[in-house]
Structure 1
Amino acid sequence: MDSLGRTAFGAALGGFFLSVVVPMPAFAQARLDARYSVTLAGLTIGEGSWQVDVADDRFSAEAKGTTSGMAKLFSSGHGTTASQGAIKNGQFIPANYSVYVKWGRRFEDLRMRIANGTVKELTVEPAMIEHPDRIKVTEAHKRNVLDPMTGSLLRVPGKGDLMAPEVCKQHAPIFDGRMRYDLTLAYKRIEQVQTAGYSGPALVCAIYFAPLAGYVPDRAAVKYLINQRDMEAWLVPIAGTRVLVPYKVVIPTPFGQGVLQATQLAVSPLPPKTTAKSIAAPKTN
């Protein structure tokens, strides 16, 4: 898979793989400590830890992941992603987003500042390689967007059934610093699941990937994801809240089934008078 193929695959997976939200009744202060594993064709290739802090009017999150198992035989990789912002009218409003990923001798360092849904500042190293057929990202593509981490937060309004099919009707306009794309969910079924911190039903939603800019239309990996109809997100409720978090994300690839699955979803209260801390993705060698 070429570099853009990896970007497209990461775009579809990354919004769920590197993003979780802590449940909070009436926006009470809380912290989520979560762990996930990643497998490809049944072989473990990665693992990660997530910490999300939510105060009354602010949120911050940090996720760390590394390659593991057979993947280390081909390339050793690790990365950190972080997001922070405000909570207004029950919505998560991103302000800063950063990613640092290193695999082998290559790396990506991305930092983005967002205000009211509009990208105000963006730095990316290394710069994307110019291609004559790449659909250009315009200023219009940087408005009314979410970063991948914030875009995966799912809070269900009202008092209805969290497992109702209409809960899957979600649409997220994502800009990850290189590519502008939409992720759309649609209801598929209900499954029963169990992991540390949760046992019960999971709402299974189909995931549809639609790139808008920052990609080359003729690339095989992009076409594959656009045409893919078997990607799934398994969402589970946290008791006492209106928030769903990813238990599992399934993405078929040409190399086998890619699966992200939670091994822990632990929630605890923040200490009194503690506010969400600012987290930026640090550079690591």
Structure 2
Amino acid sequence: MTNLLIKSLLVGAGLALAPMSAYGANTTQDPEITDVKIKLKGYVFGIKVIKADYQTQIGAHRYTVFSNLRTSGLGALLKKFNIWSLTRGHFDGADLKPETHLQQNMDKKHRRVEMRYGENAVDIDINPRLGSQGKPPASPEQRFQADDTLSAILNIMMRGYQTDDEICSGVVPVFDSKQHYNLRLKRAGTRKIKQRGYKGETIKCLAYYEPVSGFDPEDLPSQEEQSTPVILYLAQFPEYKFSIPVRMTYKISGFKAVIKVRDIQINKRPAAKFVDFGDDFKTQETNLYARNMIAVKK
């Protein structure tokens, strides 16, 4: 379960990149967009095992999130994996409204997840199919009302600036195409971070992982895992209306993982520069290939 939690946080730590469409079609133009690019590295017991890239585009009304996660260093020798994801949706001034979520696993199975949000339901296509949807499975209402993994972290980042929620407060419901869980946030003071990629004050934020539905018995966290939060260190960028997690740590008996930001780039651009990856999944993938954001399947 621990590895699943860390992977979920990494895959979901993404930000934004494409336009609106689908059920929430809105022709309102954003006056400008904020573009964010982040590079992270993950360590287990001090050994580098994961690298991740994230790129963000978000305006006043629309957003997209892209992430690319792969094993690195010793992790690549032990078990290789490469996962990229793209979410697109719109922002109504209070909540993020995902419209499509695409995830491609580049392992032997090449499992692909396609999620399309309608007016009150989520259409999900997983190929190859999963052996189980958990006991009990997530209900249609739970699936629709939760954020996808990429929107969930963006939700955390926008709190205190662009939504009614305070920084590091409340609950973020998440649905990852099978499992539905909550990230319960609790503020725990401040800490000065000094690392390559970021130096400065941060808000210490405790994120408790609370399973709700869609879990098989063997995937449920132990009592220790459920009571131990992932610690997010949120750097404040008020001029861009964001909190960015520059460091994430998780430590239980026999396991310690740290994820560190190694580079942050934030810029504002005219709304006309917003990148449109397309509405259908095949077009999105084609445009990602064309921009060299993902590698061709082998």
TM-score range for the pair, normalised by the shorter chain length: 0.7 to 0.9
Q: How far apart, CA to CA, are the structure 1 residues paired with 2:53 and 2:144?
A: 30
Offset of residue 226 of structure 1: 5.0
Q: How far apart, CA to CA, are the structure 1 residues paired with 2:125 and 2:252?
A: 30
For 1:36-93, what per-residue CA distance to the aligned partner results, in whole angstroms no more than 9, with x for missing partners?
Answer: 0011111000111111112342211211122111112112221211111112225332
User: Does residue 215 in structure 1 map to residue 215 in structure 2?
Assistant: yes
Q: How far apart, CA to CA, are the structure 1 residues paired with 2:31 and 2:153?
A: 18
Offset of residue 140 of structure 1: 2.7
What stretches of structure 1 of length at least 5 have no aligned partner?
160-165
Determine the structure 1 residue equivalent to 2:143.
142
Indicate the percent of aligned positions where both proteins have the same amino acid: 13
Q: How far apart, CA to CA, are the structure 2 residues paired with 1:70 and 1:30?
A: 35
- Aligned AA for 2:150? M
Determine the structure 1 residue equivalent to 2:169.
169
- Aligned AA for 1:203? I
Q: 1:31, 1:54 within 8 Å by CA — same for their partners in 2?
A: yes
Alignment CA distance shift 1:114-1:226 (3 Å): farther
User: Does residue 184 in structure 1 map to residue 187 in structure 2?
Assistant: no
- What's the secondary structure of 2:84's corresponding residue? strand
Q: How far apart, CA to CA, are the structure 1 residues paired with 2:174 and 2:131?
A: 21
Q: 2:11, 2:85 within 8 Å by CA — same for their partners in 1?
A: no
Offset of residue 143 of structure 1: 2.9
Q: 2:174, 2:181 within 8 Å by CA — same for their partners in 1?
A: yes
Q: 1:112, 1:119 within 8 Å by CA — same for their partners in 2?
A: no
What stretches of structure 2 of length at least 5 have no aligned partner?
18-29, 279-283, 289-295
Q: 2:251, 2:257 within 8 Å by CA — same for their partners in 1?
A: yes
Q: How far apart, CA to CA, are the structure 1 residues paired with 2:220 and 2:6?
A: 8
- Aligned AA for 1:156? R
For 1:215-255, what per-residue CA distance to the aligned partner results, in whole angstroms no more than 9, with x for missing partners?
Answer: 124x2662257523242111111141331111111123565
RMSD (CA atoms): 2.9
Alignment CA distance shift 1:199-1:130 (3 Å): closer
Determine the structure 2 residue equivalent to 1:151.
152
TM-score normalized with structure 2 length: 0.78
Deviates more, 1:244-253 or 1:265-274: 265-274
Determine the structure 2 residue equivalent to 1:162.
none
User: Does residue 10 in structure 1 map to residue 7 in structure 2?
Assistant: yes
Offset of residue 141 of structure 1: 2.1
Q: How far apart, CA to CA, are the structure 2 residues paired with 1:201 and 1:21?
A: 25
- What's the secondary structure of 2:222's corresponding residue? helix
TM-score normalized with structure 1 length: 0.81
Determine the structure 2 residue equivalent to 1:284.
297
Q: 1:40, 1:256 within 8 Å by CA — same for their partners in 2?
A: yes
Offset of residue 171 of structure 1: 1.1
For 1:168-204, what per-residue CA distance to the aligned partner results, in whole angstroms no more than 9, with x for missing partners?
Answer: 2131111110111111110122111246775321111
Q: How far apart, CA to CA, are the structure 1 residues paired with 2:241 and 2:79?
A: 40
Q: 2:32, 2:270 within 8 Å by CA — same for their partners in 1?
A: no
Q: How far apart, CA to CA, are the structure 1 residues paired with 2:214 and 2:75?
A: 28
Determine the structure 1 residue equivalent to 2:226.
227
Q: 1:59, 1:87 within 8 Å by CA — same for their partners in 2?
A: yes
For 1:119-168, what per-residue CA distance to the aligned partner results, in whole angstroms no more than 9, with x for missing partners?
Answer: 4311112222238x722222232231111111112223469xxxxxx622
Alignment CA distance shift 1:76-1:88 (3 Å): same
- Aligned AA for 2:251? P
Matches within 5 A, 1:233-272: 233-252=232-251, 256-271=255-270
Deviates more, 1:42-51 or 1:138-147: 138-147
Alignment CA distance shift 1:284-1:238 (3 Å): farther
Aligned residues: 267
Offset of residue 34 of structure 1: 0.9
